[in-house]
Chain A
Amino acid sequence: MSATVPPSSDEPPAILLEHVNKWYGSIHVLRDVNLSVGRSERVVVCGPSGSGKSTMIRCINRLEAHQEGRIVVDGTELTDDLRSLDTIRREVGMVFQNFNLFPHLTILENCTLAPIWVRKMPKAEAEALAMDYLIRVRIPEQANKYPGQLSGGQQQRVAIARALCMRPKIMLFDEPTSALDPEMIKEVLDTMVGLAETGMTMVCVTHEMGFARQVADRVVFMDRGEIVESGTPAEMFGNPQTDRLKLFLSQILRGH
């Protein structure tokens, strides 16, 4: 396991997971997970269904609480303290598999909501900011429509813009393209590649190997709640060490 050390090790890591354990009732879903993500590092997480990928990244912004171990995000440790939770959620943006746009608000309102209410930004400023990001994800003309009027790919790009409007330091993606029709996957991946180029710290659960090769500094393979193997995309895909990763790769390659 080579690249577990963040690129510039003098800085504290953006995300640090140490000996994290989590159970759902009696099911052990995260087993002694250790992960350190440096600033501007881009990590792709893959693994079979039910291996705990979603659970792990949802622990990073505490949509789920872990039971053992330590999670430190941007220098703040995640505890039950509400203030630390607020701090972290402002700094961490998240994009979901099912977009989760707010259907009763327009695209623009979806994007300005959090800046206005959480960051207390004046409305005009928030709208200018939102338009900025909508231009960046290339759908400014949809600003006054409702989510239900957009295609899946467009909705997911809005979801990315909505998260970016909070100017997060870290972005989490949970299978952002797996609910999309094939012809829309590319537009979303292109947006994410563009985002990676801006130096955003990203943790992305995805099975898009092309994307992983193109942008990931590191690929993390999870199985049954554990991080089994991690390394650069070239190492992981070209020279897998464990049988479990070999099996997984052969399965997803057959699937594609």
Chain B
Amino acid sequence: MGSSTTAATAGATPARQRPSAARIGPAAWLRANLFGSWASSAATLVLLYLILRAGWSFIDWAVIRAIWQVPAGAHGPDTTICRQAQGIGACWAVVGEKYRFILFGFYPYAEQWRPALVVALFIALFIVSGVRRFWRRELALLWIATLVAIGVLMWGGVLGLSYVPQNQWGGLPITLILATFGLALAFPLAVAVALGRRATSLPAVRLLCVIYVELIRGVPLITLLFMASVMFPLFLPQGVDIDKLLRAQVAFILFAAAYLAEVVRGGLQALPKGQSEAADALGLSYWQKTRLIILPQALRLVIPPLVNTFIGFFKDTSLVLIIGIFDLMKSGTVAIAEPAWQGLSSEIYILLAVIYFAFCFSMSKYSRNLERTFGRARNR
């Protein structure tokens, strides 16, 4: 409708200016989208019934008939009522009983404030790193300091902390260590490999990068983890033993970097050639051009696939349970191996899902936020 028409009708029929409530608002939306015809009304009703039923059954199981506490027995908690309620009501008592084990594994019970502090440190580090105002050189120092603090807290043996060998670590700190340092180190490696793959003037570097990416992408992560845990020690000189967690961490970094490199390369490829030429023409060196012009733009372009890959790898850390590293997933499954609590897997897996979801959803939410900030700067 042109503005002249609007102006002409404005005085005469004001009622037509304002669409009646029937044409906008939730009622209209419902009518248009869910009850448009007999067939769609029927489908809506059937689906609604199924959804409500499933939802109700879940609430019935998870809340109404759930058991929140179990009485103490002669040898630990008496879980008889949980067994009786199996399939009818959830037994959340297992969570209250086992959460410390799930979160921290076999870490000495009295010292578990240490891994708890480590988790808190990680979350603080994520939050601080997420604020754009703090994106300065000092942030790298903060990461190094946090890494050291985490090492001191977990291992101990200094500052009056008792020594806790790595094979007693477990649960959430392991998952966070693998994911955080895995991705934090894989990312720069990925950028280097992606740049190397495009270095036309250095054919050897280029070939090396191609081989690396193709080789790593061609094998499953599990294979790589097995190689790191079983094969790798064979190549080391006698007596030299590298920590199992560290080996898994390295395998994880190498694997993630190959995938991330391809995502980054996609961003580099998408950048118009003119950007690089303009930087050249201004006399910027290769590194200045890469750092100031190419990467900032290329990485912004690939935030969604990058975060997608990050989230995927965060969850893939759970694969280390295969080589006997006690991550969150593993400690969850071990927690219910005890006879008294056997069969309560649903409750535990729901708990694990909630923990993984909290981290992954935060990442996804943050990435959308970041995209919006950068998008605004670009096409305001």
Contact = CB atoms under 8 A, between A and B. Distances in A.
Q: Is chain B a partner of chain A in the same complex?
A: yes
Nearest to B274: A100
A23 interface: no
Interface string A215-254: 0000000000000000000000000000000000000000
A147 B79 CA distance: 67
Contacts of A93: 281-282
Interface stretch (B51-59, B251-259, B288-296): B288-296
B278 interface: yes
Interface in A69-126: 86, 89-90, 92-94, 96, 98, 100-104, 113-114, 117-118
Given A104-B296, A104-B377, A114 B282 contact: yes
Given A104-B296, A104-B297, A149-B380, A63 B284 contact: no
B19 interface: no
A42 interface: no
A113 B377 CA distance: 18
Interface in A37-79: 61, 63
Contacts of B277: 63, 96, 100
A163 interface: yes
A166 interface: yes
B380 A104 contact: no
Nearest to A93: B281
Interface in B239-284: 272, 274-275, 277-284
Nearest to B376: A146
Give the interface size bracket for B toward A.
20 to 34
A206 to B, nearest CB: 18
Interface of B (DSSP majority class): helix
B300 interface: yes
B380 A89 contact: no
A113 B296 CA distance: 14
Contact of B378 (A63, A92, A104): A104
B283 A146 contact: no
B379 interface: yes
Contacts of B374: 104
Interface in B287-332: 288, 292-293, 296-297, 300
A148 B283 contact: no
Interface string B198-227: 000000000000000000000000000000
Interface in A177-205: none
B297 A100 contact: no
A248 to B, nearest CB: 27
A174 to B, nearest CB: 10
Contacts of B380: 145-146, 148-149
B274 A96 contact: yes
Nearest to A94: B281
B241 to A, nearest CB: 46
Contacts of A114: 282-284
Contacts of A166: 282-283
Given A104-B300, A148-B378, A148-B379, A162 B282 contact: yes
Nearest to A101: B278
Interface in A129-161: 145-146, 148-149
Contact of B282 (A89, A98, A103, A149): A89
Contacts of B379: 146, 148-149
A113 B292 contact: yes
A3 to B, nearest CB: 28
A93 B275 CA distance: 15
Contact of A117 (B278, B292, B300, B377): B292
Given A100-B274, A104-B296, A104-B300, A113 B282 contact: yes
Contact of A163 (B282, B285, B288): B282
A163 B374 CA distance: 26
A194 B379 CA distance: 31
B282 A100 contact: no
Contacts of A90: 283
Given A113-B292, A148-B380, A149-B380, A102 B284 contact: no
Given A100-B274, A104-B297, A113-B292, A89 B377 contact: no
Nearest to A148: B379
A240 B300 CA distance: 52
A89 B379 CA distance: 30
A220 B379 CA distance: 40
B278 A118 contact: no
B282 A118 contact: yes
29 contacts: A61-B281, A63-B280, A63-B281, A86-B283, A89-B282, A89-B283, A92-B281, A93-B282, A96-B274, A96-B278, A96-B281, A100-B274, A100-B275, A100-B278, A102-B297, A103-B297, A104-B300, A113-B284, A114-B282, A117-B288, A118-B282, A118-B288, A146-B377, A146-B379, A146-B380, A148-B380, A149-B379, A162-B282, A163-B281
**A-B residue pairs, 8 tightest by C-beta:** A100-B278, A89-B283, A114-B282, A100-B274, A94-B281, A118-B283, A148-B379, A90-B283
Interface of B: 272, 274-275, 277-285, 288, 292-293, 296-297, 300, 374, 377-380
Given A100-B275, A148-B380, 7 more contacts: A89-B282, A89-B283, A94-B278, A102-B278, A113-B282, A114-B282, A163-B281
